[in-house]
Homo-oligomer: A and B are copies of this chain.
Amino acid sequence: MSLVGSRPRPGGPARGRPRSEAVERAILEGVMKLLEDGVPLAELSIERVARTAGVGKATIYRRWSGKEELFVDVVRAAEPPDPELPGTSLRDDLVVLLESLRRRGLATRSSALLHNVYAQMKSSPKIWAAYHTAVIEPRRVLTMEVLRRAQRDGELRPDVDLELANDMFVGPMLVRAVMRPDADLPEHLPEHIVDTVLQGLRPVSPAAA
């Protein structure tokens, strides 16, 4: 493979990785610029993106099968990156997963672009489905793996329904981060949620204390 800047002409075939990455970045930034300028998603054609990024339409279609996939990558580039799980304990992994949801919530609140992007995404079933497949579903699968391993290792009661356990850890965070945009997202909320869900809310009975 040839490398860096071997073909500086926009629209030329992308042969080297850095060159290809630069083109990709230009395209993603082109979409962000259009969104920042207030262009609604419905009017965001591949043609317009190509013109803004200074590339040919074919260059875009070589990388993304369509507007939906391109748009999902724009969202992912604007979102905080996916977390690396420490793998040291159920508690540690869950705290990292919830912390990443908390950061996404904070990012959405502080970024008018992300806020706008999520709102538009939800009103487009095709784009929402693409985002679901690319971002939400893999995150859920990852959390389920963490829970399954923990149950096998005796960190969770053997009779606990893992689908419900997932919603019990993730639900309180999502309700605050996504559904109630004015809710508090304090720094130690992930630890607080994980510890409280593990311990339960019932008073300790005298026999068990």
Q: Which residues of A contact B (CB under 8 A)?
A: 119, 122-123, 154-158, 160-161, 163-165, 167-168, 170-176, 178-179, 184, 192-193, 196-204, 207-208
Across the interface, A174 reaches (CB within 8 A) one of B179, B201, B202, namely B179
Q: Which residues of B contact A168 (CB under 8 A)?
A: 168, 171-172, 193, 196-197, 201
Q: Which of B160, B170, B184, B208 contacts A201 (CB 8 A)?
A: B160
Closest residue to A184 on the B side, CB-wise?
B163
Contacts A156-B201, A157-B201, A198-B201; A172 near B167 (Cβ below 8 A): yes
A175 to chain B, nearest CB (A): 4
- Minimum CB–CB distance from A166 to chain B (whole Å) comes to 9
- Using CB atoms, name the residue of chain B closest to A199: B200
Interface centre among A179, A192, A198 (most CB of B within 10 A): A179
* Contact partners of A175 in chain B: CB under 8 A: 167, 170-171, 174-175
Question: In the complex, how many angstroms separate the beta carbon of A123 from the nearest chain B beta carbon?
Answer: 6
A123: B residues at CB distance < 8 A: 119, 123
Across the interface, A197 reaches (CB within 8 A) one of B173, B179, B197, namely B197
